[in-house]
Amino acid sequence: MTQTTLICFFEYKGFKNKWQALGRMGRPPISLSNTNGLTFFKPLGTGSGNGFSIKPDFSTFGFVAVFKTEEQAKKFTFSNDLKQYKKTATNFSIVFMKTIKSHGKWSKKNPFKSSVELNKSKPLAVITRATIKPKLAYKFWKNVPEVSKSMDHYKELVYSKGIGEFPLLMQATFSIWSSADAMFNYAYSNPKHAEMVKKTRELNWYSEELFARFEPYKVEGNLIPMFL
């Protein structure tokens, strides 16, 4: 039994389709009680641009779902619940992932269990997630644009999207890198990113945070560039 995480993105056009997608954020058809093997689920809105962004992207929505087994995750991709997301989407992508390492908490738990070793030659996916303290939100968002822009210069970055459960305060990023070395080079060599990490420690912006690395091994759909 190997835990499998799915992260899914759906892109919509037209007011009606976008409005319905926004409604699913509040009332998702997927729940822990009615989905076999599902241990963790979060509906996600997205931000414009490639990383954190204060400006929402009302054309793209998604979710992260964690299953006890790979077989349960596969069966879910054929479910009627998922079809509700896909049927009006112009583009979509579903990324299958195994956890390499995860530390921190998301809604008071760490939902990701390590199951594979890091292979530096394979693509790497990363989720960074945080709940921002309300009184520090302004200082946090003031520092974000420069970090987000700095990601534009990294050709090894396959895909990146700002994601979140609640505007401004519950935020995350999802990114896919061509290799682990590419991600490490960005994280430790980019001065803008290093400065943001330093300020995070000094100013204690977050009331909860999580950092997780994954091995993405399968992708369906056409929204995310093919990288495997």
Model confidence pLDDT, tens digit, residues 14-24: 999 999 999 99
What number is the average pLDDT over the span 126-151?
Answer: 69
3 state SS of 14: coil
206-217 pLDDT tens trace:
778 999 999 999
pLDDT at 73 over 70: yes
Q: What is the pLDDT of residue 11?
A: 97
CB-count exposure of residue 42 (10 Å: 0-12, 13-18, 19+): buried
Alpha carbon distance, N-terminus to C-terminus of the chain = 24
3 state SS of 192: helix
Q: What is the pLDDT of residue 139?
A: 63
Q: What is the pLDDT of residue 202?
A: 57
Residue 179 binned pLDDT confidence (cut-offs 50, 70, 90): very high
Q: Which among 48-52, 125-129, 142-146, 188-192 has the top mean pLDDT?
A: 125-129
Q: What is the pLDDT of residue 203?
A: 55
Beta bridge partners, 95, equal 7, 219
What number is the average pLDDT over the span 1-18?
Answer: 96
Q: How many CA atoms lie within 13 A of 50 on its CB side?
A: 18
Q: What is the pLDDT of residue 183?
A: 87
Residue 70 binned pLDDT confidence (cut-offs 50, 70, 90): very high
- The residues, any chain, with a CB within 8 Å of residue 109's CB and separated by 6 or more, are 40
pLDDT at 81 over 80: yes
Instruction: Round to whole Å and give the CA distance between 111 and 102.
Output: 9
* Prediction pTM value: 0.89
pLDDT at 186 over 90: no
Q: What is the pLDDT of residue 195?
A: 62
Residue 12 region by backbone torsions, left for phi larger than 0, else alpha for psi between -120 and 50, else beta = beta
Instruction: Round to whole Å and give the CA distance between 188 and 154.
Output: 13
Mean of per-residue pLDDT scores for the chain: 86
Q: Which domains does the chain have, with CATH numbers?
A: 4-221 (3.30.70.100)
- The residues, any chain, with a CB within 8 Å of residue 145's CB and separated by 6 or more, are none
3 state SS of 10: strand
Q: What is the pLDDT of residue 148?
A: 59
pLDDT at 10 over 90: yes
Contact 28, 137 (CB under 8 A): no
Pairing type for strands 38-47 and 157-166 reads: antiparallel
pLDDT at 71 over 80: yes
pLDDT at 144 over 90: no
pLDDT at 2 over 60: yes
Q: What is the pLDDT of residue 17?
A: 96
**DSSP letter assigned to residue 11:** E
Dihedral pair phi/psi, residue 35, rounded to 5°: -120, 120
